[in-house]
Structure 1
């Protein structure tokens, strides 16, 4: 099993104690976690325990929290519960939000590998060139724009050259020093792929660094394929071949996918004949899936390639009034609103856009401008890019303004970016900052976040510099910070943007600004943590143990990440194992802030509630993931050993046992298994104290809980022999 070890240390962070904590290796066996298919809501604020035990509210900053640190407890809940990305092309071969719900790194299982390799079509020349370099050197780099098929090619290359049919996807955050220095445990015969490697600062030692990577991979008998959109930094690289990547024959790609789906030959050829120019691999894969399910090819192809953009480009090719520009811009960011909310937002935008357009001079121009303003709704009805949709809301039906086709949105944003200059975008920036700063509902926040995520494709710097970073620092208040995290969540829907979102959040986490670090912690508790669990846990643990970090924010973020993983039965060990390792490593330390913060983080995670059910997450994990029982028992033992936290730990333990009947098919079996694991980890001298304290807390337990307490406590001393 591959183990990715500790993340590289952030430069200049913290004092000696912080550096010591950062340089410690991560837990053995800390594999990249699988992302769940349907993540849940984050844990709710912890409620008061029985017998009046003091409790810190999860929604409130800890005493002494610097200004700007906030918690975003409802953002992930809304993102996963309400996001509707239907028929919006995010990611490779997907038409919904599934990409945000599965891990982007880790070992590929047989089904995932087959799904990539079975329909794969090799591009001419560049594939053979890359395969030869990989066989010769053990490492090859594929360089090409997004959508050119590098991801599938990387897996196909290691499948062709590597000795074993095992493939591991590494985090795009891995540096050359990580790859060369032993922080990735390469295994003989295994194929590794590192997708969308982040652009590092140009270095004059690039060739030397790549040579070290090559030698390390060779030494372990492994093979590594790296993909990137960037050319080599610091000059030409001779030690590792960088192969310019090209699209395969898209007609062949479509034929293979349709034939494999059982489509008749004449239907296949008709679909191929209708395929428009300008398609990417992801679009062809998505279209093939829909056609194979019975959709009419002519209708499907209208949403992909040059056909998708043409109606939008035709609209923008004509002279448009300032009001029409404002209509489409408002729709790009406020999508799905009713007439009143939409017109209010449009009116505010127009006031910000005044400097971007010449003022009407003549009386005729002024009269026309006044008429248009008075007839907003009629103008909207004449706009070909504005559609009206009737949406069911319980027993009611409400009207929503949308694009006639959802894919128009991304093309409208690209045309807006291409055709409007800085004064226009200054107005858009100020309008959105004002809009978000008024603390709109989460639906409005999500719509704005989706628009900004789509805008990152043609204008990443614009979004990062004028929206993400200022909002993450608090320029638009707490709602701006949560909206910034939502933008990163939406970017995770697109496999070509997920690595970029990771890079943004990593930069925030390393910032000296506590508000940026707080927002980063919130981002890692949701879709970003699901996509890149090892990166998320490593960074959050650093924020917990580093001097001047944000232990409260990071602890709640870890609990949120457990909630996402636990609800779907995925590997919550991605959080539990590193926590147990940290606790074990600090057991011999008498005191110190890193140890105190680690204990607080463990207690926060163990006692957190699932907002969806109100029950302890730990109870559900014990039922769904029996393999985590020993690790959870070790974590409970660690906080029970600590006298200042023992009372809170006992009350949390009681609440967990009390919730077992609601989540477990056989709560008695789970309680016994849990008791044996905790007893094995708890020192003998502490077991009688646990018996006494838990009996006291459970004195008034109901008739269902009392037998579980008895079973649990009977199992605890059973390990003495």
Structure 2
């Protein structure tokens, strides 16, 4: 069995070398082996060789050990073009680009405000990560207002006797919450979320922590190839560890043995859910009205949103209008009126221009009308008019779906067009897809979307995410050429952003993960670059364990990507630190890889590469926050100073990275001094952890080199930073073993 390591908020028993976790299907060399250019292509295809092998061998040898040009003291940050880096990288979209202000980073992205169900006009925080340990506070939140659905008791009996059960049924029925509630009733220890990409074989071969619970939500790892044997083997492995696993899926595979099944999962009584979640008392007449409305509600989340609105004091009529069922009815009535071609163009543009300024909306509407005119010139033709028509004001119509909204900002007023109810969005997309054919609408729309990418109008990504709910194949046909850089860097960035928009939606995130995994494993070099960029931001926040694993695997074969993949893992670390979504997973993975590659007999080139990559991660600076991400990480509640110490010590003991690793100390100290009240306490803890890893002569050499690099005559640190570094050395010396 592979070496196991405890991972913060991860599963301590996870087998990192389980089948399917390496690029066996994509031809990427296994960990610790010599990279080989002729193994990067699919079987039957010519090998990929973009001439970058020698360049990447130099990087692996430690000649460039930090983000940018290999010097941690430079201002070569994530998102900044670095000296010596080729043009055309997803990591450094030019500031002048129209995409820059929309989707260049988590800090500026508005993907979080996209809506595919209940009204969520307020900007939401990034979606919670979908893998790792579930905290008790999260479980407590899930217990609030929970109502046991039909079949819950049977499922509890199944998991108690078999240690494994499947919950299947359409999305929106509360399967995730029910799965976690089943586990909390079954186990007293930690509960972990597993990657939906894991197959039955991989689940059967991984290790499980004794007495813990595991949930795999929206299972997407099997393709029907695995039989009952794998699932029974998994049951035996779970029983051996006294662990429990609940798997949720939309459609149950026929290969799943009957003993693990329960009947199709149904929603709980919606009226009971509303009463449990609502914190206000309503008169009986209002309760009766709500009960009649809830008969048409099929999603637990919509009922929860209704309860929230009523608790916040919103009028019943307004709260009900924001229900998904009410929104669907309003959209259906509008389309039943047989709207004109221009009206269809207006709502189509709105569906793909969410949150776009008025001028952007005008430009995109004009572009779509031109494409529709090309498709059917006679129907689109109009008589010339003497007076200019007030087209913009005509967009707003009585009983229409679009309204004009004016917002007052710090610098003045801003006017936008938007759907009257955000919940209209995905119903409009579905109606457009179901009612209109390819020749009349969707072929022109596809050309128009390409035009929008060329113009840098990347607000289209939320519309494409909504379309993926309706027909994922249509979306793939649109974004696949973009991901291959057939429409340049902006198209590649748009494809990445579509996956990011999907990652914000519980129902779409597993699909986004599957697409990115296929691209990074089987795609051409440009697609691998696109997937790496997607895994480093929103998709990585949602699935940090998958992202870290995939980016590591790509980093050991950098010549298989069309771009510089050395930015990917540091950018993921920045992203996870920014939203505090288990950034420890990156450092823990590096620590595990370094332990393996520092053993006698390990591949020297792979060892040098992991050292250089670790230095990049440790040195990375988030220019949006203006901070060293390592300093910011150390101040987080869940920070693991022991893991930081292990990784830092490894690169300190590696000659090519030693000086840069030493020079990193004053930068991190300065970051803590400028931003954290407890800077001294954080440094003392770090010094103790690093000191515990040093003994005798090695400790003496560290102190000598530390003084020479950071406290010598050329030291330019501030008085406070220098004082704290002396405290660090003193604390280190106390804990270093003689």
TM-score normalised over the length of structure 1: 0.85
State whether residues 670 and 721 of structure 2, in contact with CA within 8 Å, keep that contact through their aligned partners in structure 1: yes
How do residues 584-623 of structure 1 correspond to structure 2 at under 5 angstroms?
584-588=595-599, 592-623=604-635
Q: Which secondary structure state, in structure 2, belongs to the residue aligned with residue 100 of structure 1?
A: coil
Runs of 5+ consecutive residues of structure 2 not aligned to the other structure: 1-5, 36-65, 94-99
How many aligned positions are there? 679
1:221 maps onto 2:242 in alignment: yes
What is aligned with 1:454? 466
Q: 2:401 aligns with which of 385, 390, 397?
A: 385
State whether residues 276 and 306 of structure 1, in contact with CA within 8 Å, keep that contact through their aligned partners in structure 2: no
What is aligned with 2:232? 211
Cα deviation, 1:101-140, whole Å, max 9, x if unaligned, reads: 422223323332233234222333x334433332332211
Larger mean Cα displacement after TM superposition, 144-153 or 275-284: 275-284
Q: Which secondary structure state, in structure 1, belongs to the residue aligned with residue 587 of structure 2?
A: helix
What is the rounded CA distance, in whole Å, between the counterparts of 1:584 and 1:612 in structure 2?
A: 33
Structure 1 pair 103–475 and aligned structure 2 pair: CA distance change class (3 A): same
Q: 2:136 aligns with which of 94, 107, 110?
A: 110
What is aligned with 1:167? 191
1:376 maps onto 2:387 in alignment: no
Cα deviation, 1:17-67, whole Å, max 9, x if unaligned, reads: 557599xxxxxxxxxxxxxxxxxxxxx9769969x97979864489697x9
Larger mean Cα displacement after TM superposition, 690-699 or 547-556: 547-556
Q: 2:261 aligns with which of 241, 244, 247?
A: 241
What is the rounded CA distance, in whole Å, between the counterparts of 1:408 and 1:346 in structure 2?
A: 19
Q: Which secondary structure state, in structure 2, belongs to the residue aligned with residue 704 of structure 1?
A: helix
Tell me the CA shift for residue 272 of structure 1: 2.4
Q: Which secondary structure state, in structure 1, belongs to the residue aligned with residue 504 of structure 2?
A: coil
State whether residues 146 and 229 of structure 1, in contact with CA within 8 Å, keep that contact through their aligned partners in structure 2: yes
What is the rounded CA distance, in whole Å, between the counterparts of 1:546 and 1:17 in structure 2?
A: 10
State whether residues 168 and 264 of structure 2, in contact with CA within 8 Å, keep that contact through their aligned partners in structure 1: yes
State whether residues 462 and 498 of structure 2, in contact with CA within 8 Å, keep that contact through their aligned partners in structure 1: yes
Larger mean Cα displacement after TM superposition, 572-581 or 106-115: 106-115
State whether residues 323 and 372 of structure 1, in contact with CA within 8 Å, keep that contact through their aligned partners in structure 2: no
What is aligned with 1:303? 322
What is aligned with 1:714? 730
Q: Which secondary structure state, in structure 2, belongs to the residue aligned with residue 381 of structure 1?
A: coil
Structure 1 pair 57–244 and aligned structure 2 pair: CA distance change class (3 A): closer
What is aligned with 1:185? 208
Q: Which secondary structure state, in structure 2, belongs to the residue aligned with residue 699 of structure 1?
A: coil
State whether residues 113 and 124 of structure 2, in contact with CA within 8 Å, keep that contact through their aligned partners in structure 1: no
Q: Which secondary structure state, in structure 2, belongs to the residue aligned with residue 231 of structure 1?
A: coil
What is aligned with 1:578? 589
Q: 2:270 aligns with which of 250, 254, 258?
A: 250
Tell me the CA shift for residue 358 of structure 1: 6.3
State whether residues 131 and 157 of structure 1, in contact with CA within 8 Å, keep that contact through their aligned partners in structure 2: yes
Tell me the CA shift for residue 79 of structure 1: 4.1
How do residues 256-267 of structure 1 correspond to structure 2 at under 5 angstroms?
256-258=276-278, 261-264=279-282, 266=284, 267=286
Cα deviation, 1:558-585, whole Å, max 9, x if unaligned, reads: 2223223334555431111111121122
Q: 1:560 aligns with which of 559, 566, 571?
A: 571
Tell me the CA shift for residue 332 of structure 1: 1.0
Structure 1 pair 287–70 and aligned structure 2 pair: CA distance change class (3 A): same
Tell me the CA shift for residue 417 of structure 1: 0.7
State whether residues 339 and 400 of structure 1, in contact with CA within 8 Å, keep that contact through their aligned partners in structure 2: yes
State whether residues 614 and 651 of structure 2, in contact with CA within 8 Å, keep that contact through their aligned partners in structure 1: yes
How do residues 308-707 of structure 1 correspond to structure 2 at under 5 angstroms?
308-354=327-373, 356-357=375-376, 359-360=378-379, 366-368=381-383, 375-382=390-397, 384-423=400-439, 424-438=441-455, 440=456, 444-445=457-458, 447-467=459-479, 469-546=480-557, 548-549=559-560, 553-569=564-580, 571-588=582-599, 592-625=604-637, 627-681=639-693, 683-684=698-699, 686-687=701-702, 688-696=704-712, 699-707=715-723
Alignment RMSD: 3.4
What is aligned with 2:126? 100
Q: Which secondary structure state, in structure 1, belongs to the residue aligned with residue 522 of structure 2?
A: coil
Cα deviation, 1:499-542, whole Å, max 9, x if unaligned, reads: 11111111121124121111212112222222211111111111
What is the rounded CA distance, in whole Å, between the counterparts of 2:645 and 2:256 in structure 1?
A: 53
What is the rounded CA distance, in whole Å, between the counterparts of 1:114 and 1:541 in structure 2?
A: 34
